[in-house]
Amino acid sequence: MKTTLSVIKADVGSVAGHTKPHPRQLEMAEEKLKDAKKQRILKSFYVTHCGDDIELIMTHDRGVDDSEIHELAFKTFSEITEKVSKPMKLYGAGQDLLLDTFSGNIKGMGPGVAEMEFEERRSDPVAVFMADKTEPGAWNLPLFKMFADPFNTAGLIIDPALHEGFKYTILDVMKNRSVVLSCPEEMYDLLALIGEPSRYVIKQIHRKSDGLISAVASTTRLSLIAGRYVGKDDPVAIVRAQHGLPAMGEVLEAFAYPHLVAGWMRGSHYGPLMPVGLRHSMVSRFDGPPRVICLGFQVSNGELIGPEDLFDDVAFDESRRIANELAYHMRRQGPFMPHRLGPEEMEYTTLPGILKKLEGRFVQE
Ligand code: F6R
Ligand code: MG
Ligand code: MG
């Protein structure tokens, strides 16, 4: 029997700016999912938050893109918005709910989704990554390292089960089309694409030897849906680990160096992605710097066993220190690129308005 793991998230309002949800919002999410479990829609669930995003981590046996599961998430976020966020006048109430009528699939409606269906192995450790104040392309670099870089993942060389490599499905978010590239043979082509994370994002990774699904990531781009800046699409990803896949330590190692990602203040700045424990996921300085948390679970007959708060470890203290140092460097540049995003990325902010306003004042030199 197969198990489906669905992670669906949305920012439907937070306290004192874009910081973190109110406890009542999380309680309501718990209540809704508890009900769904009673009705046997869900097998197991865990509700948490990363920064201002509410994260619903759910298991069931209905497969990916199941309308009942998506509707459950949609109704949960809508009800939280109506019954908690709006009455409390929380900041950005209902922010990620771009549409208000559900029509079968929550994708494209604002919330972020990462789902995978798999036959449980004898033991199935999974890592759920959740980030705030950044975009899906932020996973490109660490997912490359985990499944294709032997300097990160020793198993690619040492373990015969990984040695053949992995296949990456890359989505071109501008043209809404995807391509599958095989590593290590097509590594340079892969890097040529995913090195441009605002456009090409890793959607799925499969083990080459047997097609085993190994990782999935959310790929929504809110600004492309709405045509204007409506908040960043703070992404989520699911990665399976161990026994013929990268070890959990190899999976986490990919975040040891806090690489620069797009997001941070007003979704318009590059900054380091800081790996933190849950208790430190709330952003503060300049609405950031961007954070990533990782909860580890065992999936056991559809039950979620755990979680372990995997970045809540002194071994990541140095990564956090480097992230803070990078944050200082970047902040000193204020509105100057490359702290501020380039023109293509600013297209969905107020910048086109400024250019339009000044249009008549430009004179030919
Ligand atoms: C970034 C983010 C925040 C807001 C910023 C301005 O993803 O959510 O940095 O963009 O706080 O928010 P508004 O325009 O709501 O005042
Ligand atoms: Mg917000
Ligand atoms: Mg957020």
Q: Residue ranges of the domains in the chain?
A: 1-118, 120-353
The answer to whether residue 224 scores a pLDDT higher than 90 is no
The answer to whether residue 107 scores a pLDDT higher than 90 is no
Residue list, CB under 5 A from ion ligand 2 = 11, 18, 52, 92
Token pair of 281 as six digits: 């996921």
Is the distance from the beta carbon of residue 266 to the nearest atom of ligand 1 less than 6 Å? yes
Output the CA 352–ligand 3 centroid distance in Å.
24
The answer to whether residue 230 scores a pLDDT higher than 70 is no
> How do 269-272 and 274-275 pair as beta strands?
unpaired
Burial degree of 119 (CB within 10 A; 0-12, 13-18, 19+): exposed
In the residue annotation, 229 being an active-site residue is answered as yes
Cβ partners under 8 Å of residue 105, min gap 6: 65, 67, 70
How much is the mean pLDDT over the chain? 95
CATH of domain 1-118: 3.30.70
Share of the chain above pLDDT 90, in %: 87
Output the CA 132–ligand 3 centroid distance in Å.
5
* Whether pTM exceeds 0.75: yes
Question: Which atom, in ligand 1's list, is nearest to the CA of 17?
Answer: 11
> Could you say which of 65, 91, 229, 312 is catalytic?
229
pLDDT reported for residue 226 = 65
The answer to whether residue 347 scores a pLDDT higher than 90 is no
pLDDT reported for residue 215 = 98
